[in-house]
Amino acid sequence: MAPAYDVEFVEREERKARFLVRGVTPAFANGIRRAMVADVPTMAIDEVRFIENSSVMFDEQIALRMGLIPLTTPPEGEFVEGDTVTLAIDVEGPGTAYSGDFVSSDELVKPADLNVPIIDLKDGQRLEAEADAAMDRGKSHARHQGGVAVGYRHLQRVEVVGDRDQFEDEEPHIVRGVIEDDGELVPTSEFDHDLTVRYPGKEVRIEDVPNAFVFHVETDGSFSVEELVTRAIDSLEQRARELEDAVQL
Amino acid sequence: MSYKCSRCKRDVELDEYGGVRCPYCGHRVLLKERSRDVKEVSVH
Amino acid sequence: MMVPVRCFTCGNVVGEHWEEFDTRAKEGEEDPQEVLDELGVERYCCRRMLVSHTDLVDVVSPYQ
């Protein structure tokens, strides 16, 4: 029987979220983190055919820039690793070629950000290319990494233990992350990461709450944070199942 | 082989007798034009 | 040459903010710190990508 996990959001946006998970071991928390970084497949350009490039940058440099543009990743099951989608671009100078100038062959896969400059074209210069986007994992190349700046911290419990000595120096007491005060979750940014601002003149004790982790997750735009987390957990589950099958006689 | 004269910007065809020289303006610096082939590049 | 598409350190997409940052803070008079805060470029790894960048396309294009 799987234990019930308690998940609580501290901050929640489309591409950025912070949430508290209770009842997980540090090893499992790190497993989720690593799966988000390296094991969730995303779409990214990994082959480009240049028909014309008279810009100031080399084909290879432009190909690298195209590869780093985040593409929306289709819902699970629509694509498998190894499938490709073709995106075409044709821009003539003077002007700048943007990621939004890509025309995709599939509505599900298109640039997630439309304003990323690819190359500045001068009068008479032209960029015409076809790019193949493929599904792969962050393990193989950073361009396939959906999670950006994924990390976690222990939830910290703050307890007031008494009054500070009258003549004691008021030194800042810096804490970063999310604290728990009488069951209430408070991001430290609310009081400038300084406990003496929140508890003036008080003596406080601070301790890590066992098995409670505050995750900070951002995505590059390939999918929403929820999608990233659920896919990471699915991949973890799938690998655990593979191991189980392999171990069985 | 198709080249482009770097001074008068005209297209120049070279053969093995004329040497490296623009037949229109006599300039000796010629630029090789990019091939019309489609170039396939994999993103590294 | 051109702005890097992503931050070298964390992988966040910073290229899309370049043009606004350039017009407001580099060519304009606004405080770069405030512009970066407004653009949502939070971490100092991403901030240095925009602050330290110089466009070189105009410098090299005469030699094409």
Q: Residue B3 falls within a domain, yes or no?
A: yes
Q: Residue C21 falls within a domain, yes or no?
A: yes
CA A38 to chain B, closest CA, distance in angstroms equals 17
- Identify the domain containing residue C42 by its residue range: 15-63
Helix and strand element counts for chain C (H, E)? 4, 0
pLDDT tens digits for range B15-29:
777 788 888 888 889
Q: Residue C50 falls within a domain, yes or no?
A: yes
pLDDT tens digits for range A56-72:
999 999 999 999 999 99
Please state the rounded mean pLDDT for residues A30-55. 93
Ordered DSSP codes for A116-176: -EEEEE-TT-EEEEEEEEEEE-TTT-GGG--EEEEEEEEEEEEEEEEEPPTTS-----B--
Helix (H, G, I), strand (E, B) or coil at A60: helix
> Residue A75: is its pLDDT beyond 90?
no
CA A16 to chain B, closest CA, distance in angstroms equals 28
Q: Please give the tally of structural domains in chain C.
A: 1
Nearest 10 degrees: Cα torsion A75, A221, C43, A26: 0
Q: Residue C3 falls within a domain, yes or no?
A: no
CATH class of A43-136: mainly beta
Query: Residue A200 has what pLDDT?
Result: 86
Given an 8 Å threshold on Cβ–Cβ distance, is A64 in contact with B34? no
- Identify the domain containing residue B2 by its residue range: 1-35
Task: Work out the percent of chain B whose per-residue pLDDT is above 70.
Answer: 98
> Residue C62: is its pLDDT beyond 90?
no
Tally of CB atoms within 10 A around A155: 22
Tally of CB atoms within 10 A around A125: 21
User: Closest chain A residue to B43 measured between Cα atoms?
Assistant: A46
CATH code: domain of residue B1:
2.20.28
User: A22 exposed, middle or buried (CB, 10 Å; 0-12, 13-18, 19+)?
Assistant: middle
Query: Residue B1 has what pLDDT?
Result: 67
User: Closest chain B residue to A132 measured between Cα atoms?
Assistant: B42
pLDDT tens digits for range A107-148:
889 999 999 999 999 998 999 999 999 998 999 998 999 999
From the list A44, A46, A54, the residue facing B42 with the nearest CB is A46
- ipTM at complex level: 0.91
Q: Residue C24 falls within a domain, yes or no?
A: yes
From the list A61, A119, A149, the residue facing C43 with the nearest CB is A149
Given an 8 Å threshold on Cβ–Cβ distance, is C19 in contact with A148? no
Q: Indicate the domain borders of chain A.
A: 6-39+147-235, 43-136
CATH class of A6-39+147-235: alpha beta
Task: Name every residue in C having a CB less than 8 A away from some CB of A.
Answer: 1-3, 5-6, 10-13, 15-16, 18-19, 43, 55, 57-58, 60-61, 64
CA A135 to chain B, closest CA, distance in angstroms equals 14
Residue of B31, B39, B41 best to disrupt the A interface, most CBs of A under 10 A: B41
Q: Residue B44 falls within a domain, yes or no?
A: no
> Residue A214: is its pLDDT beyond 50?
yes
pLDDT band, residue A3 (cuts 50/70/90):
low
Residue of A14, A36, A56, A121 best to disrupt the C interface, most CBs of C under 10 A: A56
CA A214 from centroid of its chain's CA atoms: 15
Q: Please give the tally of structural domains in chain B.
A: 1
Query: Residue A95 has what pLDDT?
Result: 92
Distances (CA, A) of A76 to A218, A221, A232, B17, C29: 19, 16, 12, 65, 47
| Whether B22 contacts B12, CB under 8 Å | yes
Q: What is the pTM of this model?
A: 0.86
User: Closest chain B residue to A58 measured between Cα atoms?
Assistant: B41
CA A29 to chain B, closest CA, distance in angstroms equals 31
> Residue A1: is its pLDDT beyond 50?
no
Q: Residue C19 falls within a domain, yes or no?
A: yes
CATH code: domain of residue C50:
1.10.10.60
Please state the rounded mean pLDDT for residues A78-104. 89
Nearest C-alpha neighbor of A158 from the set A124, A193, A125, A132: A193
Helix H or strand E segment including A46: strand A42-53
pLDDT tens digits for range B31-41:
888 888 899 99
Q: Could you say which DSSP state residue C32 is in?
A: H
Given an 8 Å threshold on Cβ–Cβ distance, is C15 in contact with A116? yes
User: Closest chain A residue to C60 measured between Cα atoms?
Assistant: A56
Q: Which residues share a beta bridge with A230? A: none
pLDDT tens digits for range A159-207:
988 888 878 777 888 988 899 888 888 898 888 899 888 888 888 899 9
Q: CB distance from A66 to chain B under 8 Å? A: yes
User: Closest chain A residue to C40 measured between Cα atoms?
Assistant: A16
